[in-house]
Every structure is written in structure tokens, then in C-alpha cells.
Structure 1
């Protein structure tokens, strides 16, 4: 999404990019290191230099939680010192959790006061309650290629489930495996494709979980996949399962990618997902942390084939209408114009 925003901004603005790359691997994102501190300090010096040149606005992918919240909050305060308006793009949720210290609360209110915040959907508007800022809803988007995946399914093959996300427990991979074990006990045939980089679950941990649940003959782990491999996995999937319970989840692109490809979706209603995956209409909603219910949802999807396909068709049409890059570019460019003017 950062790349998409940069492309959109460069169509209408002269953009200077300060790349905020602090972690090389997904599993390192939440880990504080000396290297991250040095990078943050170096970026603050570069930002000071750019702010001194008086740009029309600062656009920042603002982290709502963790140590990155303090870093980004200080960056925004720096822009205020120079009289440069800031646009804070929130790709996650968690601002209302900033009560661990008076400084965190003060920083949150000062950083957002008088600025413009972008949120991904109306379900996240509560994050900005009590903050003296303007808000704008700009949902994520998908590239045109996401809508061009051709599904190659056959009615006489084993149904294929797809789990696509980095291997974090909060993203629901353990729930998926537990639900699959229940399906196996019910003698329901399936195959599970798992794709994603290591998180707080390593490849070894995943292999042990698969062995514990007795799913050795049902699972295939693909590791971190590129766009081509992702397209192949989506084209062969009968069902996409993503029972995330990640507290900062806002609008995961993996769900949108599955919907755009016409793959039936089962997910939780966290963040904006409840507005996108409408239960029984554009997909199935499952309570996170409950493998028994997830297994039932998967079983229903297998047996209620017409209803499942109708939901997938409706989801694909919904994505075409609301998550195109043309719409995203227009909304972001319009907002920039309003802020600068």
C-alpha cells in the first residue's frame, strides 16, 4: 500500500521519499533493536533537513501502537514545529490503547491535533474519538492483476483450503490447523495450502503443529510466495480461511485478494472485515479462537456449493466496486489537494 500511495502521489506532487524500513523480516517487526534506534535517529535528521526546506505537506504511514508510535509521533511533532501540515495514514488500529502513560496520551493528542488522519473504514472511526483532527476514509486497493486470476477448479478433486499470511499465532494459523484436525476426524476430505513467512511460529514450529494434529498428508507449506505463486494458489483454492484475532488488524489485503480472485472467504469480523465480508452475502464470518466453529463453517462451505459460489461472486463484484486502484488514487490525490490548499 505504501508503493501504491507513492505512485498516486507522484502523479500530482513532487515527492521526496524518506523510506522507513526498520525490519528485514516480518518476525523482526515488533522487536526493539539498536539498529532500529539508529535508523530512526538518522531519519529524524533527514526529516529535519526536508522540513527546513518547507514542503507543502508531510505524508506518513503512522504506526498506532508499539515503539513505532512514539517514533512517528515525534516525527509529526517535528513537522508541526516547522508549520508543515501532516497527513497520518493509519493502516492498523490501536490508538485507543494509548493509556499506558501520560506521555503516550499527551503525544497522541498533540500529534493528531489540527492534522488530517486517514482511516480504512467507518468501523475504525472510534480510534479518533477525542482527537482534534480531521478524518478521511480511504479504503485499501488492489492492482488490476488481482481481478484477472482465472480459477482452474474441477468438481472431482480434493477441496483445497488456502491460508495466506505470515506465521503469527494471532493471525489464526493454529486455529486453522485445529479445525482441519476436526475435519479429518469427521472423514471430510481436504488439502491445506499454507503460504507466508516465519513470524512467532517458525517453520519447525509449524511442522510440529502439523504433526501434532496428524495432518502430514493434508498440508503443504509454500513459504514466502511471490505474486506469481500467489496467483497460482488462489486459482486452485476452493476456500480461503483467515480467522485472525490480531488486535491491530484493520483491512488485511490477503482477504481482499482472495475476494477479488473469486475465492470464497471465511474470516473474522475484526477491524473493517465485518463491513466487507458480510456473513452469508459476501462470505462467512467465524468467531476467532474457536476451531470447532471454523470447522463447521468450512464443512458448510463444502456442502452448500451454490450458496458458497454466490457469495464468492458477490464478493468479487464488491471488490471491483470499492477497492480499485483508480478509486484509491483519486481519493488520495483529492485529499492532498485539500490539505495543501
Structure 2
């Protein structure tokens, strides 16, 4: 039996739970099957509210991880890193990739978000980014994200996210008929940029039009706390139509989807790339309304698998929710097509295979040089 190549994986793992952390779990599971995997966990926060908050403690942890990386690199053949494309974490991850280059270890930079163009707006920043990315392999979540690496001399691989292996275990209901009142679901961590206030405003429009609905909001507190959310709901005058149930366990998410008529996610998050929760809703057979940003237009296809609205447009969002209920046969067709797309394009086995092949190709190229 041949000796397996040693690969370092520098990743964020839950807690706290968010899309990138969940995908990192899938990635290290896939890599552990094919390689001698050494995981260096990048844990800087225990809750969502602290993720973007800079502290001295985070700086010290980052430096400690750099030391650990230096000890691990001489015995490794590749570095796989969940690379932060913006913010202070971007410079931290740049340091880690440059250390790998110093030890002549090739890096695979997996981008779960957007923001690289913002980090190269000055000549000095552009020089740094080109130096970090030159001759490395970058994993993007979709073709539409190629502008992220414009002008960078790097190898690009497109690998979409995946769903859990049991995502398609249960069949979806064959027919879709909306309840009265319409059951609307929001499921995400409570961040302003995810468009929650846009949804609340759209629901206010529904109420003004006399359209009956019940809105369920589920998710852990982020930069919107429970008290502030309750104040927002009161301000929009939809208390009697809205409930907040807090964070939802992974095993309860499917039940929540099954109890919903529409999943509405009007995100305008500047770092958004490919939100897993949209894929989860589509796989569960819930009709999806979201926004036309990031890779969402690649798989939420108007008149095929869902609806897209402009960000920050509660009037259009309200009209789209009403439209979805007026043509139940068409909505039913769309949700079945969405489920089929998820089964093929976002399968767990496909992701595992593509991640493994990408790292293997990097190792092969490195050994031939």
C-alpha cells in the first residue's frame, strides 16, 4: 500500500455554525478519505456576533496558528485553506499562504465568499494579492464569480457547494397548494445584510393589501438580537402574523421546511457566494424566492426553479410572493425542477469527488516540477 500524501487543512469549523463552516466539515471529510490529513482549526469566535469583531485575543490566536503551520509545512505536500476574501481575516490568510510558498508547499484556496476586488483597489494591495495568488489553485463556487480573481495568475477550479448525504432521503409532497394564511419561512442567522428587514417590509405590504400570511423567522442571533428583531416586527405592524423561534437544530430543519409554503431569502450580503440554506429549501421541495446576487442566478432560474428579486425591493418581493400563490400548478412544477437540479448539481458524492481530484491534481503537478 503506497504512502498517502500529507495535506494540511486550515479551516473554520462549528461552532458557530454558518455556511462556510458546514462546507468545511464536508471538505475535511472528503480529504481525509484520500490523504493523510492534518487539520489546523481556525477558531476565533464562539458565537456569530463575535465573528467580525477584532480583538487582541484573535490576533494572538492567528499568530499561534502561523507558528503551528510553520511546524507542519516541512512534512506536508499541500495546504488546503478556507480563504477569507475580505476583512482583517483576509490579511491573516494571506500570511498563511505566503508561509506555504516560503516552504514551497502548493496551496488550494477555497473561496466561500466574495470580496477580493475590494482588497486590491490600491497598487500596493494589488501587488500583495497577486503575490499571494500567483501559481496557486483557487476554488470558486460558480462561474459567475470569476471576476474575483481577475488579473491574478492562478489556476481556477469551479466546485459548487453540496448538500448533506441525507438531503434527498425523503420524497417531497407531489402537489403544492398554498395554505391560507400563506406560510412564509425565513431561515438564516440574523444579520442585517441577509435582507431580513426587506422581508419584514414586504410582509407589511402584504398586510396592507389584505393578503393573509404567517411569517416564521428561524435562526441564531447575529448583529440583530432578539429584542431588536421584536422591535422591528412591532415597527412594521406585523406582530400578529410573525413568530421568532430562535436557532433550529439541524435535525429539525426539514420539519420546518415541510411546514412552509414559501422560503423567502432576500439577501444583499456583499460577501454572499452560494447560500446553503437556499439549496436546502430547494432540496426539501419548498418554492424559493431570493435575490439576483452572487451565484444565485446560476441555480435559482426564473420560470424554471424559483424566483429572483432585486435586493432591497420590498414592493417587488411582496408582489412576487403573491404571484407564486396565483399559479399553484406552475409553482409546483418549479419546485420539482429545483429538487431535480439539487440532486444532480449539488450532490454530496459529486463534491467529494471534485475536491479530491483537485487536490490530487495539485500534488501531481507539484511533484513533477
Alignment TM class, shorter chain as reference: over 0.9
Query: Helix, strand or coil for the counterpart of 1:145?
Result: coil
The equivalent of 1:163 in structure 2 is 186
Shift of the 104–188 alpha-carbon distance from structure 1 to 2, 3 Å rule, reads same
Residues 1:205 and 2:228 aligned together: yes
What are the residue-to-residue correspondences of 1:9-158 with 2, within 5 Å? 9-53=31-75, 55-99=76-120, 101-149=122-170, 157-158=180-181
Question: Structure 1 CA distance, aligned partners of 2:255 and 2:56?
Answer: 40
Q: Distance in 1 between matches of 2:261 and 2:78?
A: 45
Residue 52 of structure 1: how far off its partner (Å): 2.6
Matched pairs, number: 340
The whole-number CA distance in structure 2 between the counterparts of 1:23 and 1:108 is 26
Q: SS of the residue aligned with 1:161?
A: strand
Deviation at 1:148, TM superposition (A): 3.1
Instruction: Tell me the secondary structure at the aligned position of residue 246 of structure 2.
Output: coil
**Structure 2 residue aligned with 1:243:** 266
Q: Which runs of 4+ in 1 moved over 6 A?
A: none
1:315 corresponds to which of 330, 335, 338: 338
Structure 1 position 149, deviation (Å): 4.5
- Is 2:270 aligned against 1:259? no
Structure 1 pair 156/194, CA: closer, same or farther in 2 (3 Å)?
Answer: closer
Q: Which has the higher strand share?
A: 2
Q: Give the TM-score of the pair, scaled to structure 1.
A: 0.97
> Matched residues in 2 for 1:261 and 1:254: separation?
10
Using the alignment, how far apart are the partners of 1:140 and 1:155 within structure 2? Answer: 29
Q: State the 1:173 CA deviation.
A: 0.2
Distance of 1:21 and 1:169 partners within structure 2? 23
Tell me if the contact between 2:180 and 2:212 (Cα under 8 Å) persists in the aligned partners. Answer: no
1:195 aligned to 2:218? yes
Selected match of 1:4 from 10, 26, 48: 26
State the distance in 2 between where 1:103 and 1:50 align: 30
Please give the secondary structure, in 1, of the residue aligned with 2:39: coil
CA distance in 1, matches of 2:171, 2:343: 15
2: CA distance, partners of 1:256 / 1:243: 14
TM-score by length of 2: 0.90
Give 1:295's aligned residue: 318
Structure 2: unaligned runs, 5 residues or longer: 1-22, 365-369
Measure how far apart 1:169 and its partner are: 1.2
Q: Give the drift of 1:307.
A: 1.1
CA distance in 2, matches of 1:203, 1:102: 43
In the alignment, the residues of structure 1 paired with residue 179 and residue 31 of structure 2 have an alpha-carbon distance, to the nearest angstrom, of 48
